[in-house]
Chains A and B, each alone.
Chain A
Amino acid sequence: MEKRIRVLVAKPGLDGHDRGAKVVARALRDAGFEVIYTGLRQTPEQITEAALQEDVNVVAMSLLSGAHNTLFPKVVNMVRDKGMKDVLIIGGGVIPDADIPGLKEAGVSAVFTPGTPTASIIEFIKSNVK
């Protein structure tokens, strides 16, 4: 058996900056994960469909535009509706601390704000992935 953790790294919504997402993608690659990178400006529908086709263990979204309260929960619901109950969903980017409890309630397992060492993201995925 040769299981590799597969992570979808996606940038939802209208946001033209993906340097952070690329840094995270590279760190995950170096941690031995398979990272499927979808690029910028993805709709929740596209993210969900890519997660399904790629059968990922983790959906990691990064958002800097402020639309996280709408888009993150939307992806959580769509992914669950497609029958992917075990997929770990995490978020990151410019997200005010005040919004984090609400996102967690909506099913986002963890939120990583700027300055988080990539090692903590890797650690979180390793200990929480099913």
Chain B
Amino acid sequence: MDIVAELLAGSRLALSRAITAVENEYDEATAIMQKLYPHTGRAHVIGITGPPGAGKSTLTDKLAKVYRRQGKTIGIVAVDPTSPFSGGAILGDRIRMNELTLDEGVFIRSMGTRGSLGGLSRKTADAVKILDAFGKDIIFIETVGVGQSEVDIIKAADTTVVVLVPGLGDDIQAIKAGILEIGDVFAINKADREGAERLKAELDMMLDLDQVKTDWRPPIKQTVASQGTGIEELIATIDSHIDYLGTSGELARRRTARTRSELIALLEEYIHRRVLGRVTESGQLDQLVAKIEKRDRDPYSVVSELLNAFLK
């Protein structure tokens, strides 16, 4: 039996190995994804993002437990930053989800960002697809929206939940571009802390200023994940977003946009790999760099020559 057949037959080890193959770009990775792709597109993907320490893992843990009680199966991809210096990473989100480890209906995988810029890599999206093909009903992607620009999650998730906590930053933060614009649902976690009401008021103001009027105005829910407060309400809100996506046709639009951006990203990656591979292997790259450095050549004409040679 091959890994894809075993995975589709329900082997968790095969599932785990398939994600590794994709993450490490093993030779068989493309074949695995080719065979799994027809089995994807069934799961609802929920992105959970927000600043470090907002309580995303604890919230994910609690949300997963409610969905489990409803009989749904869960996949979780927990993304943590890779060190730009050593390439290593501490992936510590499982600590908050230990009670889920022995639940057969839950599969948690931690991933390092491994140098991808927007906080998510194509490999994360592929891991989600693998969990989807395995048959998970709900898949969470949990990622750090560190600064204001790590907003890739919106491309991979059907519903994006932005988790915030009181006491971070002043009110200008609420009108900056970036992470606050991508929320379908907002959770103000640790809402028992001072400043929760003010944060809600600021968010409300930001959302009311939004020029793009749709039928979905992102709701704001207050939670205290560590105590399980507000979780049922947050789930109800997520579920109503899922309904909205279906009835408004927005889900179809988002998925078309995602298919398009994934195809473009894949194409870019393959072109990049093949062109660069050829230039590097021939030793041409170093010579060209030397020439450009001496100002014998300029990088703009070099690139256009290389592409012309490759595409003819």
Task: Spell out A's residues near B (CB within 8 Å).
Answer: 1-4, 25-26, 28-39, 42, 45-46, 49-50, 52-55, 82-84
A39 vs B82: C-alpha distance when bound (angstroms):
19
A83 vs B14: C-alpha distance when bound (angstroms):
10
- In addition to A28-B88, A35-B90, 11 A-B residue pairs with Cβ atoms within 8 Å of each other are A32-B88, A33-B88, A34-B88, A34-B89, A36-B110, A39-B98, A45-B102, A52-B13, A54-B94, A54-B109, A55-B19
Report yes or no: B26 in contact with A53, Cβ–Cβ below 8 A: no
The A contact surface, by secondary structure, is mixed
A84 vs B108: C-alpha distance when bound (angstroms):
17
Task: Spell out B's residues near A (CB within 8 Å).
Answer: 12-13, 16-17, 19-20, 23-26, 82-83, 86-92, 94-95, 98, 101-102, 107-110, 112, 114
A31 vs B86: C-alpha distance when bound (angstroms):
6
Query: Nearest 9 CB-CB pairs, A to B?
Result: A29-B88, A39-B95, A55-B16, A32-B87, A55-B20, A32-B88, A36-B91, A32-B86, A3-B24
Report yes or no: A35 in contact with B98, Cβ–Cβ below 8 A: no
Report yes or no: B101 in contact with A50, Cβ–Cβ below 8 A: yes
Contacts of B19 in A (CB 8 A): 55
Report yes or no: A4 in contact with B16, Cβ–Cβ below 8 A: no
Report yes or no: B91 in contact with A35, Cβ–Cβ below 8 A: yes
A30 vs B88: C-alpha distance when bound (angstroms):
6
A49 vs B112: C-alpha distance when bound (angstroms):
19
A-B pairs with beta carbons under 8 Å apart, 23 shown: A1-B25, A1-B26, A2-B114, A4-B112, A4-B114, A26-B90, A28-B88, A29-B83, A30-B88, A32-B87, A32-B88, A34-B82, A35-B88, A36-B92, A38-B94, A38-B98, A39-B92, A42-B98, A46-B102, A50-B94, A53-B12, A54-B109, A55-B20
Report yes or no: B98 in contact with A54, Cβ–Cβ below 8 A: no
Residue of A1, A49, A83 ringed by the most chain B CB atoms within 10 A: A49
Report yes or no: B24 in contact with A35, Cβ–Cβ below 8 A: no
A88 → B minimal CB distance (Å): 15
* Closest residue on chain A to residue B20 by CB atoms: A55
A3 vs B90: C-alpha distance when bound (angstroms):
16
